[in-house]
């Protein structure tokens, strides 16, 4: 199973970006999908998560500015980020807490990260 994140880039203060992360492989079901970020010199932190049924959770720092969604048929999670600030600059990682394939259960899978840079 692989998680491929995309959509990062350079954006101006107040701009928007949409991140995507697609899980590939013989996947039957994915539980919670989420986005985390790590800024230079800081620890990785939660941005948002979404359950298979669509329940969401957001960090206070992005609440009201970001929307997480998922397409279960495509095994893909999205993060729409608006009103971006320089403090949002970080590498964004997608995560799956556990998933079921045709042969096994896999836990705590991470994508490779996509860089978001917000200029002031």
C-alpha to C-alpha distance for 109 and 103, rounded to whole angstroms: 16
- Residue 29 structure tokens: 């079901």
C-alpha to C-alpha distance for 22 and 13, rounded to whole angstroms: 27
pLDDT for 65 = 98
pLDDT for 58 = 98
pLDDT for 31 = 98
pLDDT for 117 = 98
Condensed to tens digits (0 to 9), the pLDDT of residues 3-45 reads 999 999 999 999 999 999 999 999 999 999 999 999 999 999 9
pLDDT-derived band at 55 (thresholds 50, 70, 90) equals very high
Tell which residue, 94, 110, 102, 111, has the closest CA to residue 29: 102
Q: What is the mean pLDDT of residues 68-88?
A: 98
């Amino acid at each position: 199973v692989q998680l491929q994140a995309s959509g990062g880039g350079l954006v101006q203060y107040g701009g928007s970006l949409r991140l995507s992360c697609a899980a590939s492989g013989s996947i039957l079901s994915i539980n919670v999908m989420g986005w985390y970020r790590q800024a230079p010199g800081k620890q990785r932190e939660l941005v948002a998560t979404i359950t298979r049924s669509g329940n969401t959770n957001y960090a206070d720092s992005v609440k009201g500015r970001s929307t997480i969604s998922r397409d279960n048929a495509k095994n893909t999670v999205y993060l729409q980020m608006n009103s971006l600030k320089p403090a949002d600059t970080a590498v964004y990682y997608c995560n799956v807490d556990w998933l079921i394939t045709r042969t096994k259960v896999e836990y705590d899978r991470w994508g490779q990260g996509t860089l978001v840079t917000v200029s002031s």
